[in-house]
Structure 1
Amino acid sequence: MIYETIEELMIKAQAAEGKTFGQIDTTGRIKNLRSKGTLGNIIEESYFGYEINSVSKPDFENLGVELKVTPFKKNKNGTYSAKERLVLNIIDYMNEFKLTFETSSFMSKAAKMLIMLYQYKPDVEINDYQIFKAFLNDFSEEDLAVMRRDWETIVTKIRNGEAHLISEADTMYLSASTKGANKLSVRPQPYSALVAKQRAFSLKASYMTGLIRKYLTPEHMESFSKKGELQVKSLEEILNERFKPHYGKRVDRLCTEVGIKYNPSNKSMIPHLMARLLGVKKNDINEIEEFSKANIKFKTVGREPDNSIREHMSFKKVNFDTVIVEEWEESELYQLFAEQKYLFLVFRYTESYKPKVKRIPYFEGIKLWNMPQQTIEGELYDLWMQLRKVVDEGVELIPKGKRVFNNLPGPSFNGVSHLRPKASNGKDKTLLPDGQWITKQSYWLDREFIQKILYDE
């Protein structure tokens, strides 16, 4: 069926709100749950009445509108989040670099999208999922400016013969996500004899979360950038401009300046302080719109007077039950670094460390960082493989005095990442697959690796 106007198309789309996929499906496709595209295919074929295809042009070609059916979920705190990234089209490395952003394969697909949201519920049958909301999305000029820079970042690597080094974390909103059955899903690239993983232009799940909240909830996240500012400056440039006037100031004085209590034992103090320095009312830097949409998490780094870093940097706790069954690109370790950027908030101490002596640091600077793809597929992958091997064979727990050591890959493993305990006390333990109990472990980045990141500017 051909829809003559966007208004006609939207009337049809919004009439689906409240309907279940079981009610819409007239083809029996919903029974084939092995295909990820099943639900989208049901809407295309049964509801809008057009044949499924994989052409590069928009689904409703005469209107320039692409149809996307995507899930969201309701979080425990009542907020909504995207369940997954929104995948658009496979990147043709051999041709994409010849285009401009305006003529890119991404823009030909995503310039105008009809997005139909359904709520994912793990305890509900798929045929009972309901279409929750249908809306026509037009990107804001600010978002398009960020996506233009993202596209240029991706294409620059293609043009340099480095398509094999592309990482999702290279970019802010628009990413090049891996797309294929396995590691053998590869494509040729220009200017290099090396093949590169097959990838697709995608809108990050974090960006989709912001988009979903915009349409589903009246309360929006607070932004620190001025209207139109992201059209002419990168996020990193804006962050440096906002924070630079505060470099060299002691943290307790910064707290006084913004009107919050200095309490180093309060873990929320630093994110609260940073949010205030950016000029927003939110109490947590992670709740700011730009950080949420670009999937940026903050981490604090403490430098000693001699420039060294005393502590390793901790991340997520290890889930030993899933690590031996998950695929690499679906693993929690891969997602920690392949899909996220980190904002390092750097603080410096002017007095040497002494046990039990409190020190007040100075705010020194920031660095926006993501792990290079070579490191992800190198040292990080090696850590994951060694962890799987040890857990599969059975972790060795070795009592020595009052302590218990193990053979998990530790700080001397590869100079980049390792495992070590992170628990509230010695009794804070988790069960291993072989039935042994072990002190809860987390993924860490080596302090020497962090120092190298900060000095490689």
Structure 2
Amino acid sequence: MRYETIQELMDKAREAEGKTFGEIDTTGRIKNVRSKGALGHVIEESHFGYPINSDARPDFEELGIELKVTPFKKNKNGTYSSKERLVLNMIDYHNEHEYSFETSSFLSKATSMLIMLYQYEPNIPIDDYRIYKAFLNEFSEEDLDVMRQDWETIVAKIKRGEAHLISEADTMYLSACTKGANGSVVRSQPFSEQPAKPRAFSLKSSYMSGLVRQYLTPELMESIASHGELKEMSLEQLLEERLSPHYGKTLLDLCEETGIPYNPGNKAMIPRVMAKLLGVRKTDLSSIEEFAKANIKFKTIAREPDGNLREHMSFGKVDFEALSREAWEESDLYDTFAEQKYLFLIFRYDEKYVSKQKRIPRFEGIRLWNMPLETIDGEVKSMWLETQAVVRAGVQLTPMKRGVKNNLPGAKFNRVAHVRSKAADGQDKVRLPDGQWITKQSFWLDKSYIRQILDA
């Protein structure tokens, strides 16, 4: 069927709202669907009436509109988020660097997209998944400014012969995700003999979550960038411009300046202070649009007068059951570092630590950071694989005078990442796959590695 106008297409798309895939299907295809990606075929064939094809041109070529059918999920706190990133098109390493952003394969594919959202529910048959919303997405100028920087970051790595070092965490909204079920498949790149994993342009799941909430439960998100600012500078430069006037002030000074009560025991205090300094009315960093869409997480770092850190940095609890059966690239830890950026809020003490001494740190600066791919697939992967091997063989638990010793990879393993306890007390335990009980453990980055990042 041919659609002559956008209005005609959207009227047809909205007819699917409220219907299940089983109700939409007219060919019986749904009975053979084994993957969520194939649900788009049901919509193409049964609802819009055009044959399935792998043509690179837009699905509705006469209107220049691409169709995307993508899932969302309802979180435990009642909010909605995207179930996954939105994959667009494969990156041709040999050609992409010859384009401009305006003529890029990404923009030619994604300028106008008809997005149809369905709810993912783990415990119901796939044909009972229901379409909730259909809308036409056209990027705002502000989002395109960020995506232009993202595209340039990806292409710059290709031009440097570093396509094999591309990571999703390199960018903000637009990413280059790995593509292909077989992790051993590689492709050539034009400026290096080193083969690279095949990758596709995609919109990050965090960016897609912003779209989901915008259309299902509109939330007021606050932008810290005024019109056109992100065209002139990067987000990190903008943050630096806004926050650098406050460098050198004590945390107590910043609390008094922003009207936030000074309470060192309140973990939310520093993010609330920073939100105020950035002009966010809700005093909540997570309500900043640019941070939410780019999947930026916050970590507060306190440095000693000599620059050292007293503590390692934790990055999520160890799920021993999942770890024992997962592959590395399917693990939560891989996703943590391969997809996320971190905004380090850096403070420094004036005085050396003395037990029970109450010290007030000074705000030293910020650092927007993501882990390099060679570290992810190097030291972090080796630590994770060693943890998996120990868990599969059975963790050795040895009672000591103070607590219980284990043979999981500790702080001396590779000086980058390790596993250690993060529990309320000695009775705060989880069960291992072999039935033993162990105090709750977390993955940590070594404090010496964090210092290297800050000093670089």
- Paired residue secondary structure (1:116): strand
Q: Does the 8 Å contact 2:403/2:426 carry over to 1?
A: no
Structure 2 CA distance, aligned partners of 1:419 and 1:33?
A: 40
Equivalent residue number for residue 356 of structure 2? 356
Once the two structures are TM-superposed, the CA of residue 76 in structure 1 deviates from its matched residue by: 2.0
Q: 2:245 corresponds to which letter in structure 1?
A: P
- Paired residue secondary structure (1:194): strand
Q: 1:238 corresponds to which letter in structure 2?
A: L
Once the two structures are TM-superposed, the CA of residue 283 in structure 1 deviates from its matched residue by: 3.1
Structure 2 CA distance, aligned partners of 1:304 and 1:202?
A: 41
Q: Does the 8 Å contact 1:304/1:350 carry over to 2?
A: yes
Q: Does the 8 Å contact 1:157/1:166 carry over to 2?
A: yes
Once the two structures are TM-superposed, the CA of residue 119 in structure 1 deviates from its matched residue by: 1.1
Structure 2 CA distance, aligned partners of 1:29 and 1:327?
A: 31
Alignment of 1:275-424 (within 5 A): 275-424=275-424
Equivalent residue number for residue 134 of structure 1? 134
Q: Does the 8 Å contact 1:286/1:298 carry over to 2?
A: no
- Paired residue secondary structure (1:280): coil
Once the two structures are TM-superposed, the CA of residue 182 in structure 1 deviates from its matched residue by: 2.0
- C-alpha change, 1:174 and 1:116, in structure 2 (3 Å) is same
Equivalent residue number for residue 169 of structure 2? 169
Structure 2 CA distance, aligned partners of 1:318 and 1:32?
A: 36
Alignment of 1:182-331 (within 5 A): 182-331=182-331
Structure 1 CA distance, aligned partners of 2:439 and 2:341?
A: 29
- Paired residue secondary structure (2:192): coil
Q: 1:51 corresponds to which letter in structure 2?
A: P
Alignment of 1:49-60 (within 5 A): 49-60=49-60
Q: 2:89 corresponds to which letter in structure 1?
A: N
Q: Give the TM-score, by structure 1 length.
A: 0.98
- Paired residue secondary structure (1:408): coil
Structure 2 CA distance, aligned partners of 1:52 and 1:232?
A: 42
Q: Does the 8 Å contact 1:120/1:129 carry over to 2?
A: yes
Equivalent residue number for residue 433 of structure 1? 433
Alignment of 1:59-98 (within 5 A): 59-98=59-98
- Paired residue secondary structure (1:70): strand
Q: Give CA-to-partner distance per residue, 1:131-179, whole Å, 9 cap, x none.
A: 1000000100010010011011101111111100000000000000011
Once the two structures are TM-superposed, the CA of residue 406 in structure 1 deviates from its matched residue by: 0.5
Identify unmatched segments of 5+ residues in structure 2. none
Q: Does the 8 Å contact 1:56/1:108 carry over to 2?
A: no
Once the two structures are TM-superposed, the CA of residue 89 in structure 1 deviates from its matched residue by: 0.8
Equivalent residue number for residue 29 of structure 1? 29
Q: Give CA-to-partner distance per residue, 1:274-316, whole Å, 9 cap, x none.
A: 1111111223212321111000001011111111111111110
Structure 2 CA distance, aligned partners of 1:75 and 1:407?
A: 36
Q: 2:192 corresponds to which letter in structure 1?
A: S
Q: Does the 8 Å contact 2:309/2:451 carry over to 1?
A: yes
Identify unmatched segments of 5+ residues in structure 1. none
Once the two structures are TM-superposed, the CA of residue 39 in structure 1 deviates from its matched residue by: 0.7
Q: 2:283 corresponds to which letter in structure 1?
A: N
- Paired residue secondary structure (2:419): strand
Q: Does the 8 Å contact 1:301/1:345 carry over to 2?
A: yes
Q: Give CA-to-partner distance per residue, 1:82-108, whole Å, 9 cap, x none.
A: 010000111111111111111111111
Once the two structures are TM-superposed, the CA of residue 318 in structure 1 deviates from its matched residue by: 0.5
Q: 1:23 corresponds to which letter in structure 2?
A: E
Structure 1 CA distance, aligned partners of 2:417 and 2:239?
A: 28
Deviates more, 1:389-398 or 1:98-107: 98-107
Q: Does the 8 Å contact 1:18/1:130 carry over to 2?
A: yes
- C-alpha change, 1:217 and 1:36, in structure 2 (3 Å) is closer
CA RMSD of aligned residues (A): 1.1
- Paired residue secondary structure (1:343): strand
Q: 1:312 corresponds to which letter in structure 2?
A: H
Once the two structures are TM-superposed, the CA of residue 219 in structure 1 deviates from its matched residue by: 2.2
Structure 2 CA distance, aligned partners of 1:35 and 1:122?
A: 13
Structure 2 CA distance, aligned partners of 1:7 and 1:212?
A: 22
Structure 1 CA distance, aligned partners of 2:378 and 2:445?
A: 14
Equivalent residue number for residue 151 of structure 2? 151
Q: Does the 8 Å contact 1:56/1:105 carry over to 2?
A: no
Equivalent residue number for residue 452 of structure 1? 452
Once the two structures are TM-superposed, the CA of residue 55 in structure 1 deviates from its matched residue by: 2.1
- Paired residue secondary structure (2:395): coil
Equivalent residue number for residue 180 of structure 2? 180
Q: 1:393 corresponds to which letter in structure 2?
A: A
What percentage of residue pairs aligned between the two structures are identical? 67
Once the two structures are TM-superposed, the CA of residue 117 in structure 1 deviates from its matched residue by: 0.5
Q: Give CA-to-partner distance per residue, 1:48-96, whole Å, 9 cap, x none.
A: 1111122221111111100000011112222110010000111111111
Structure 2 CA distance, aligned partners of 1:438 and 1:293?
A: 37
- Paired residue secondary structure (1:347): strand
- Paired residue secondary structure (2:375): helix
**Are residue 100 (structure 1) and residue 100 (structure 2) matched?**
yes
- Paired residue secondary structure (2:55): coil
Equivalent residue number for residue 118 of structure 1? 118
Once the two structures are TM-superposed, the CA of residue 121 in structure 1 deviates from its matched residue by: 1.6
Deviates more, 1:35-44 or 1:113-122: 35-44
Once the two structures are TM-superposed, the CA of residue 267 in structure 1 deviates from its matched residue by: 1.1
Structure 1 CA distance, aligned partners of 2:354 and 2:24?
A: 68
After TM superposition, the runs of 4+ consecutive aligned structure 1 residues lying more than 4 A away are none
- C-alpha change, 1:271 and 1:430, in structure 2 (3 Å) is same
Q: Does the 8 Å contact 1:141/1:231 carry over to 2?
A: no
- Paired residue secondary structure (2:127): helix
Once the two structures are TM-superposed, the CA of residue 258 in structure 1 deviates from its matched residue by: 0.5
